[in-house]
Structure 1
Amino acid sequence: MRVVEAPTPTMNRPSFLAPHSSLLTPNPSLLLSHPPSFRINYHEVIVMLCRKKLSPVRRKLRKYIAILLAILILLTVYIELAVKRQLRDVVIRDMQTLSEQAVTMAVDDYLAEHSDRGNRMCDITYDNGSVAAISTNAAYINAAKTYITEQAQDYIDSLSHTQGVSVRLGTFTGMMFLSNFGPDIPFSVDSTQTVSCEFQSSFESAGVNQTIHHITITVYVDLLIYGPIRIKETVSTESSFEIAQTVIVGAVPSYSGVVTY
């Protein structure tokens, strides 16, 4: 018996599913003539981000930040214009007082340590009961100048660092009736000082055959102040003290004027 195999059925594939070489392989000529382009419009992206609706919390936060920045700017301008002027006046006044206080302390120290200064600063020569000459001891006077100058500089340095300058909070308002209100606000002040002094000798009639010989010292202080808020000022003080007084008995040659040395 012969067996006949039935033919295997074949399914006809639709034409649109049939492989086509033109669809599977790209055409180089088309790629070269029409290259793909990808362009991002950044302007439109920024506009879209800006137009994005913010939440109420973010809007309030942005508003508070803007208000805070405005307050800080106004406060900075106020400090530069008003507070600096008020603080400058206070710094100059306090440093003048400090300078005078330091000079007074230096002179007081000298007077306490040199009780015999009157007899050592000048020598009086008599001739037949009359004053023939009055000479000054230059070495002793120069030593006194050096002592007082160095002491004054030391006191200015120590007082400026220990005391400094303190300003009442009400002073910054610029109103006189509020200048003594509020707590004290301390400020550090640096200074460079130059101290010099000179002696003066003068005579004063005190009756018959009596003359008073005065020796005074004048101390000059120049302070270059470096204060807060870029304050840079120069302060000058002048203080005079009588450090010796001698009563001369006898006729004294007529003389008028002051001798400085």
Structure 2
Amino acid sequence: MTRIMASEFLKIKRKMILFLVLLGPMGVIGLEAVNFGIRYDWLTEVYKDDLWVGLIVEVSMLSIITILIGLTILTSMIANIEHQTNAWKQLLALPISKTQVFTGKVLLSIFLLLISCFFLAVGTIVLGIALKFGTDIPYLYLLKMCFFPCLAALPFIILQIWLAITLKNQAIPLTSGILGAIISMYSMNFADWVPWKWPLLMNEWEKPMYSVFAGLGTGILLYFISLLDFNRKDVK
């Protein structure tokens, strides 16, 4: 797996994938900078009890749809490296198992998304300091709101990488992921068992970890289901 992951990183070295990893958090922070710049007095009045929490909430609300659209584009680009060069047969002919190939793609997608979440957290800190919110930063809350939505979105990561690998026409995975992101925007009133609600970290118990556990559990189940499907079919 170490050699496979090293190979995957080499494949994306000169691709736009790494730029996309940075573009997502930069876009969110940039939009929030404009938001606070235009509505500074009103927003600081709304969040006067804790300006840092207010900033983190605003960033988190915008980052969720960014994560869902970002993972859709990211997984498509990762899978499309082999599709564009018709390299799937050559790759699967190597002395490595299909399980390792599929797992490598999944781990790469998750790792890149977590890196993106890290840059989102750093960008939030920089923005808050620039807005003169002080240095009393709630780091634990910041990390939760930056990383938890990504973990809760694990089923969508698995689903999108599975679709992107098994379907050469990337229009279908991209359409599926974008529709899912749009549904998630309006899912706050959905039942707690609906996966599109999990990245919002909202549930009747008001415990974000429940949404994370639901996402992780369903994601692991989907991983094994998609892995079985990948192992039994030919990828063209």
The TM tier, using the shorter chain, reads: 0.3 to 0.5
Higher relative contact order, structure no. (Cα contacts within 8 Å, ≥ 6 residues apart): 2
- In the superposition, the TM-score normalised over structure 1's length comes to 0.31
| TM-score, scaled relative to structure 2 | 0.33
Q: Comparing both structures, which one devotes a greater share of its residues to strand?
A: 1
- Choose between structure 1 and 2: higher helix proportion: 2
